[in-house]
Amino acid sequence: MKRFVSSLVLLLLVSGIAFGQTRPTLDIATALFVTAEQDPSDGSLTIVTQARDPQIRALFPAGKNIPQNETMLSFEYQSDKPISDFQMFFAPELNERRSVTIPELKATPSGQWGKFTYFLRDVRERLNWGNDAGNWFIRLDWGNVPDVMIRIRNVEIRQPSNQEKVEIANNDADLHFKQMLGDKVFSYLNTSYPCRITSVDVSEKHITVTGTTDGRPHLALAEVMPYENITELQKFCYTKSLSGNTFNIRINRYEKRDGFRYDRLLSKWVIVDMGGKFPVIASHAKHPTGISPRNTVPSHKPFNKKGMLGIASWPGPEGIVDLDTMNAATIGIGITLNSMFHLTPSSPKDVAFTYGGETYFADGDVLARTDEMVEAYNRQDCHVLCYVRNYPANEDWTDSVSSRVLIHPQCNGGYQCAMNIANAEGLNAVAACLDFIGRRYSTPGRRIHIWATQNEVNANRSWCNLGDNNPEVYFSDYYTRMMRVMHDIFHQYDQNTAVLAVFEHNWAQSQASMSSYPARNVLDFILLSSAAEGDFYWGMGAHPYPLHHPDFWAKDVPPEITPSDDSPKVTFKNLEVINRWILNPKHFYKGNIKRPLYLCENGISSTEFTPQCLTLQAAATAWAWKKASAMDGIDSFMWYSPNDYSGDFGLNLGLRFAGSYKDNPGGRKPSWFVWQAAGSDREDEVFAPYLKVIGITSWDQIFE
């Protein structure tokens, strides 16, 4: 399970600052899952993490408020390893809604102190934290990885420095600008216009746009490219005067634009009134409504609901054996654009290709591995789902040169990075990569059937990083544009494919301002855009991980988890919420086709390797399958992970132990046998012992 980020986070190396401040006490008596020792010489505290949720509390003076102008939380630290998912709970109430999570505190050079600074204004206002007399404290959770040694000193809440005030003012201005853009887009999408574009048909060489007007003078058809904000344009790259009440205009599909041979498949078309100083929007824009296919492949549906993600990472030969044994219909893979593609050749194996008049290079080794995986799964008649994403440029397996073009320029960190459709160079490069993989993997025997657009995008700063200060509508507008680019390119090669909007488990609430949006809000925006600018075949990818524990039936409780459509979060406990959403006819594609819903990353952590915990993991696996398999809205339920993996933030999500687990390397957990039996004629027999573990007598009792 992945937990998510805060709003304004600064990691700085700075000297001490003399301002008004409130200093808490790090209370050793509250330490859990750590060893803790105080150094009287400098007041620092050394902790060594032991297990999940290593934590200690910073206690503030009892019965007092914290001055409202003290909005910077800071401390100095040393750490011999990076700390993933550093979480802060603002108490006395302890729940996820009162927490923020930092994706990573970086390891510090030996002997040097790093300084962590977090801007608390939003937390203090939203939670009313520290503003009245009370017993205030912050629970500091130091990730999920054992054996990390951390020294902490000089914890304080203080006033901002002059430099920080400038940075805060700049951030506020940036936020205000993005909020304004979002408000204008939202208003545009909700406005009724007198003119209408009825169709945009894309053929091999031409685009034909038809529509109706109210007959007024000075109307024109105009083109809007993906990196342009329709509400802000004062000049369009293309306009064509209109007369009469109807029109039918044929336009060349390709045109030299910004130095590239631009494919206008990617554009949308709008009617504007040119009679004033600046053009005025007179219709909703329309994306392609029909795309002439470059090739045709038959529809392919999963032969059952069971799927796997991460199967390529299984140790040794067990992967392909377990693929056969599990009878999994859907297999998930990933394509990392800034790993697979280069701007210049990296080896003689690279494959050169041209798009938009530019030459790019597909990495020969990455391509060969991807071909091998996809072809192997096609031989098993598997339905292949592919995540398309970017990783940070500094990762070992990414290309720092292509990253400059492929990663969105506002990206400033995170585990994965937003694609760059913000300018002509980035759009051409991203479209080139998508066109290459869409063409290559839409052929019999080497086919990807459905595409996930990035990953857990409502956790913006972690898994689809678009920088800071992104209001919901601003981000949702970017993401919808990205989905449309993918959809329109891929539909040239496979008219049956869909693109998925992928979310983590925050459903009707955000975890922290502008860091984890409610998935439902992003979905509502995509629906609004689809209704106004033309529907396209998109669906939902959901990751309904439990909150913390394998016995989620007892631990995932209100207020975070409820059976209501307004539940803050969705886990296996209340899957009914997203099942109802996808089955609502108001959300159907073109009003009559259910959109795809793939539970495309799901797992249960065996937080310990005790028999009791492994049994709970197996019982949870049975519960999750029984619920998901019975729901008509869910097309596939994909388990992650086949084996425990050290990169999963200390979680042990595997059906097998890691290959490095000394007691049983690569061995099968009890959950492996549950997942193997799922969907088979042995399901009830294998699942039966876990009814008692859960405390029920019939699987009917798990449904809300």
In-domain check, residue 259? yes
Please enumerate in sequence order all residues whose Cβ is within 8 A of that of 516, keeping only pairs 6 or more positions apart, or say none. 4, 5, 458, 459, 460, 504, 506, 510
The pLDDT of residue 27:
92
200 and 138 fall within a common domain: no
In-domain check, residue 142? yes
pLDDT tens track for 633-646: 999 999 999 988 87
In whole angstroms, what is the distance from residue 445 CA to residue 448 CA? 10
The pLDDT of residue 461:
85
The pLDDT of residue 11:
32
* Domain of residue 70, CATH code: 2.60.120.430
Question: Region 91-96: what's the mean pLDDT?
Answer: 84
Please enumerate in sequence order all residues whose Cβ is within 8 A of that of 213, keeping only pairs 6 or more positions apart, or say none. 194, 195, 219, 242, 244, 245, 246, 247, 271, 282
Tell which residue, 163, 141, 139, 159, has the closest CA to residue 150. 141
**Is the per-residue pLDDT at 234 higher than 70?**
yes
pLDDT tens track for 528-583: 999 999 999 999 999 999 987 899 999 999 989 999 999 999 999 999 999 999 99
Domain finish residue from 270, 291, 312: 291
99 and 39 fall within a common domain: yes
Q: What is the percent of the chain where pLDDT is above 90?
A: 78
Confidence of residue 2 (pLDDT cuts 50, 70, 90): very low
Tokens of 216: 């007024």
Pairing verdict, β 341-342 and 358-362: antiparallel
**Is the per-residue pLDDT at 93 higher than 90?**
no
152 and 252 fall within a common domain: no
Length of the chain: 704
Please indicate whether residue 229 or residue 133 has the higher confidence score (pLDDT). Answer: 229
**Is the per-residue pLDDT at 19 higher than 90?**
no
- Residues forming beta bridges with residue 569, ordered by sequence position: 506
- Residues forming beta bridges with residue 453, ordered by sequence position: 388, 501
Question: Region 127-149: what's the mean pLDDT?
Answer: 89
130 and 18 fall within a common domain: yes
Most confident region among 81-90, 145-154, 250-259 by mean pLDDT? 250-259
In-domain check, residue 40? yes
The region of weakest confidence among 69-73, 196-200, 211-215, 320-324 is 320-324
Pairing verdict, β 99-105 and 538-542: unpaired
* Domain of residue 208, CATH code: 2.60.40
One-letter amino acid of 192: S
Q: What is the percent of the chain where pLDDT is above 70?
A: 95
Confidence of residue 318 (pLDDT cuts 50, 70, 90): low
Question: Region 401-419: what's the mean pLDDT?
Answer: 94
Residue 242 φ then ψ, to 5°: -120, 145
How many folded domains does the chain comprise?
Answer: 2
The pLDDT of residue 3:
33
Confidence of residue 314 (pLDDT cuts 50, 70, 90): low
Residue that the structure tokens 């509400």 belong to: 231
Question: Region 500-517: what's the mean pLDDT?
Answer: 81
In-domain check, residue 140? yes
Confidence of residue 15 (pLDDT cuts 50, 70, 90): very low
133 and 270 fall within a common domain: no
**Is the per-residue pLDDT at 593 higher than 70?**
yes
33 and 137 fall within a common domain: yes
**Is the per-residue pLDDT at 18 higher than 80?**
no
The pLDDT of residue 592:
96
In-domain check, residue 201? yes
Domain finish residue from 233, 260, 291: 291
113 and 206 fall within a common domain: no
Alpha helices in 419-469 (DSSP H): 424-440, 460-463
Tell me the residue range of the domain where 133 lies: 9-160
Q: For all residues of the chain together, what is the average pLDDT?
A: 92
The pLDDT of residue 17:
36
Question: Region 233-258: what's the mean pLDDT?
Answer: 96
The pLDDT of residue 5:
31
**Is the per-residue pLDDT at 460 higher than 70?**
yes
**Is the per-residue pLDDT at 699 higher than 70?**
yes
In-domain check, residue 539? no
The pLDDT of residue 468:
83
Question: Region 291-297: what's the mean pLDDT?
Answer: 94
The pLDDT of residue 66:
92
The pLDDT of residue 14:
30
71 and 124 fall within a common domain: yes
Question: Region 284-291: what's the mean pLDDT?
Answer: 98
Edge-first strand order for the sheet with 137-142 is 25-32, 55-59, 137-142, 83-91, 99-105
Instruction: Give the distance from CA 114 to its chain's centroid.
Output: 29
In-domain check, residue 286? yes
Tell which residue, 65, 88, 63, 73, has the closest CA to residue 19. 73
132 and 263 fall within a common domain: no
121 and 205 fall within a common domain: no
The region of weakest confidence among 115-119, 405-409, 525-529, 643-647 is 643-647
The pLDDT of residue 324:
79
The pLDDT of residue 6:
33
Q: What is the dihedral of CA 688, 692, 697, 700, to 10 degrees?
A: -70
The pLDDT of residue 199:
98
23 and 153 fall within a common domain: yes
pLDDT tens track for 46-66: 999 987 789 999 999 888 899
Confidence of residue 205 (pLDDT cuts 50, 70, 90): very high
The region of weakest confidence among 85-94, 292-301, 371-380, 477-486 is 85-94
User: By three-state DSSP, how is residue 249 classified?
Assistant: strand
Question: Region 104-115: what's the mean pLDDT?
Answer: 91
In-domain check, residue 96? yes
The pLDDT of residue 512:
53
Question: Region 340-354: what's the mean pLDDT?
Answer: 96
156 and 13 fall within a common domain: yes
Confidence of residue 449 (pLDDT cuts 50, 70, 90): very high
In whole angstroms, what is the distance from residue 188 CA to residue 283 CA? 9
The pLDDT of residue 650:
77
